[in-house]
Structure 1
Amino acid sequence: MEASLTQIKNEPDLVAPGWTLYSVRPESVEFWQGDKQRRHTRLVYLPSTGGPSSCCGLDSYPIHKY
C-alpha cells in the first residue's frame, strides 16, 4: 500500500482526480455451497477474538458451518 501511495504522489496523472480509494475490513465473510437436494451449506467466517482490525487473511476468521 505504501509503495502504491508513493507512486501516486510521484506520478499524479496516474490516477484520475475524481477517483476515491476505499479500504474495506469485513466483519464477516459468507459463502453458500449448493446441493442437488437443496440442502445448502452455509459457511460463515467470523473474526477471531482479535477482531477485524487484527485480520491478516481468512486464517483469522474461524469457519462456522450451518
Structure 2
Amino acid sequence: MNLDAFLKTDPGDVGCGEAMELLHAYADLYATDAAAARQRYPGIAVHLRACGPCSTDFEGLLTLIAG
C-alpha cells in the first residue's frame, strides 16, 4: 500500500484481520438482510469497499451461501 492510499483509509475500516474473523457472520446476515449487516458490522462494510482481496472472499462466501 502506498502512503497516499494509507492516508485516505477510512478510520472506520477494521482492516483485513478483523474483517476475515467476522466475514462469515457478516456474509450470513448480508445474504438475508444487507442493510442489517452493514448496520451491525459497519467496519466490515467500510473495509470491503476498500479491499479487493477481502471483497473477493466475501463474494465467494455469498456464492456458497446462495448455493
Do these two structures clear the TM 0.5 threshold for a shared fold by scoring above it? no
> Whose helix proportion is higher, 1 or 2?
2
- Which protein has the bigger strand share? 1
Q: TM-score, normalised by structure 2?
A: 0.27
* TM, length-normalised to structure 1: 0.27
Which of structures 1 and 2 has the larger relative contact order (alpha carbons within 8 angstroms, sep 6+)?
2
Which protein shows a greater Rg? 1
